[in-house]
């Protein structure tokens, strides 16, 4: 079963053109897509219209699972997420193919941390019920498959509902600037 799940994921990454950040090695990946839902206005005033180019964030499941190998996976995940967001901000500023991206989003079971959302500038939004059901089921399946605890991981925590997380290009770039000002040695 493991080989089949890995093969399906590789095919989805290839078909959907999900790209690594930088030279790879980050817990997040990016897909350039068109916004398919209704108009969205983010807290900073950024407007996302139907059909507009957006960045769709995807978790690299293997890299995320590896963070749990030595324990303290939550702390390591947070650090890796910040590291990936800094690289993503740099790429939004420098890569011509990302010039049209005005906002980024992803679906996540890990939206419950208000502190993490506030630090990174992400906003949490509900998904339509049907999307929550089918995509949430897929996310839970992948979590159970890749997490070292397997299906037992689904019995811990408050991650029972899939939600969307959104941020604007401007907010992500401001996050990166604040981080660089506080931690100049890490860049």
Distance of CA 24 to the CA centre of its chain: 15
The closest of 138, 122, 142, 121 to 130, measured between CA atoms, is 138
**pLDDT at position 4, please?**
66
**pLDDT at position 144, please?**
61
Lowest mean pLDDT among 30-39, 57-66, 172-181: 57-66
- In DSSP notation, 3-68 reads HHHHHHHHHHHHHHT-EESTTS--SEEEEEEE--SS-EE-TTS-EE-TT-EEEEEEE-HHHHHHTT
**pLDDT at position 87, please?**
95
The closest of 15, 22, 97 to 55, measured between CA atoms, is 97
The closest of 63, 89, 61 to 76, measured between CA atoms, is 63
How many other CB atoms are there within 10 angstroms of residue 35's CB atom? 18
Q: Token match 């690594």: residue?
A: 20
Extents of the domains making up the chain: 18-186
Encode burial over 64-82: b for 16+ CB neighbours within 10 A, e otherwise: bbbbbeeeebeebbbebbb
pLDDT of residue 104 exceeding 70: yes
Give the pTM.
0.77
How large is the angle between the packed helices 169-182 and 73-94, nearest 10 degrees? 110
Greater confidence (89 vs 2) lies with 89
Greater confidence (78 vs 81) lies with 81
């Amino acid at each position: 079963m493991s080989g089949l799940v890995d093969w399906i994921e590789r095919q989805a990454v290839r078909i959907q053109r999900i790209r690594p950040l930088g030279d790879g090695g980050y817990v997040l990946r990016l897909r350039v897509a068109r916004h398919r839902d209704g108009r969205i206005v983010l807290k900073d005033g950024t407007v996302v219209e139907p059909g507009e180019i957006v960045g769709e964030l995807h978790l690299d499941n293997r890299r995320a699972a590896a963070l749990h190998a030595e324990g303290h996976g939550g702390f390591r995940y947070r650090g890796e997420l910040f590291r990936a967001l800094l690289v993503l901000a740099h790429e939004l500023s420098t890569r011509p193919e990302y010039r049209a991206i005005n906002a980024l989003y992803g679906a996540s079971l890990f939206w419950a941390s208000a502190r993490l959302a506030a630090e990174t500038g992400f906003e949490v939004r509900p998904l339509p019920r049907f999307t929550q059901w089918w995509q949430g089921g897929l996310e839970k399946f992948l979590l159970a498959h890749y997490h070292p605890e397997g299906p037992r991981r689904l019995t811990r925590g408050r991650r029972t509902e899939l939600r969307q997380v959104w941020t604007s290009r401007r907010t992500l770039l401001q996050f990166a600037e604040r981080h660089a000002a506080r931690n100049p040695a890490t860049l």
